[in-house]
Chain A
Amino acid sequence: MEAPPVSVMPVTGGTINMMEYLLQGSVLDQALESLLHRLRGLCDNMEPELFADHELVYLLKGQQGNPFLLRARRSLSHPTAPWHLRYLGQPEVGDKSRHALVRNCVDVAASHSLPDFLNEMGFRMDHEFVAKGHIFRRGALKVVVSKLSRVLVPGNTDNTEPLSLSSLVELSVLAPAGQDTMSEEMRSFAEQLKPLVHLEKIDPKRHM
Chain B
Amino acid sequence: YKLLHNWNSLLNTQREEKLLEGSVESLISRVAHLKNALHSFIYKLENEYERLTWPSVLDNFALLSGQLNTINKVLRNEKTPSFRQQVIIPLLLSPDRDEDLAKLTEQRVPVFSHEIVPDHLRTKPDPEVEEQEKQLSAEAARIGPEVAQKQIQTLNKLCSNLLEKLNNPRDDRDADSAALRLNKPSFNPADTNALVAAVGFGKGLSKCRPPGPVAPGHPGQGPMMSGGPTLQQVTISGGSGQLQGMGPGAPQQQGQPGKMPTNIKTNIKAASSMHPYNR
Q: Do A and B come from one complex?
A: yes
**What is A's interface to B at a CB cutoff of 8 Å?**
24-28, 30-31, 34-35, 55-57, 59-67, 69, 115-116, 119-120, 122, 124-129, 131, 148, 150-152, 154-156, 163-168, 195-198, 200, 202, 204, 207-208
- Output the nearest chain A residue to B185 by Cβ-Cβ distance: A28
Q: Contact flags (1/0) for B161-191 with A, using CB distance below 8 Å? A: 0000000000000000000110011111101
Say yes or no: A120-B192 contact (C-beta < 8 A), given A154-B211, A196-B187: no
Size category of the B interface is: 35 or more
Instruction: State how many angstroms separate the Cβ of B203 from the closest Cβ of chain A.
Output: 7
Q: Once the chains are docked, how many angstroms separate the CA of A60 from the CA of B276?
A: 10
Contact A127 B230 (CB under 8 A): yes
B235 at the binding interface (Cβ < 8 Å): yes
Q: Once the chains are docked, how many angstroms separate the CA of A129 from the CA of B193?
A: 16
Say yes or no: A125-B206 contact (C-beta < 8 A), given A163-B198, A202-B192: no
A129: contacting residue among B186, B198, B234, CB under 8 A = B198
Chain A residues lying within 8 Å of B203, measured Cβ to Cβ, are 207-208
Q: Once the chains are docked, how many angstroms separate the CA of A115 from the CA of B215?
A: 7
B240 at the binding interface (Cβ < 8 Å): no
B235: contacting residue among A27, A55, A208, CB under 8 A = A208
B213 at the binding interface (Cβ < 8 Å): yes
A34: contacting residue among B186, B196, B200, CB under 8 A = B186
**What is B's interface to A at a CB cutoff of 8 Å?**
180-181, 184-189, 191-215, 218, 221, 225, 228, 230-232, 234-236, 241, 243, 248, 268, 271-273, 275-279
Q: Once the chains are docked, how many angstroms separate the CA of A66 from the CA of B193?
A: 23
Chain B residues lying within 8 Å of A165, measured Cβ to Cβ, are 188, 191
B186: contacting residue among A27, A56, A125, CB under 8 A = A27
Instruction: State how many angstroms separate the Cβ of A208 from the closest Cβ of chain B.
Output: 5
Contact A197 B205 (CB under 8 A): no
- Interface pairs (13), CB distance under 8 Å: A25-B192, A63-B275, A63-B279, A66-B268, A119-B215, A122-B221, A125-B208, A126-B207, A151-B205, A151-B206, A155-B214, A164-B191, A208-B197
Contact B272 A163 (CB under 8 A): no
Chain B residues lying within 8 Å of A168, measured Cβ to Cβ, are 192, 195-196, 199
Contact B195 A148 (CB under 8 A): yes
Say yes or no: A151-B268 contact (C-beta < 8 A), given A62-B275, A126-B202, A163-B198: no
B205: contacting residue among A124, A128, A208, CB under 8 A = A128
Contact B200 A204 (CB under 8 A): yes
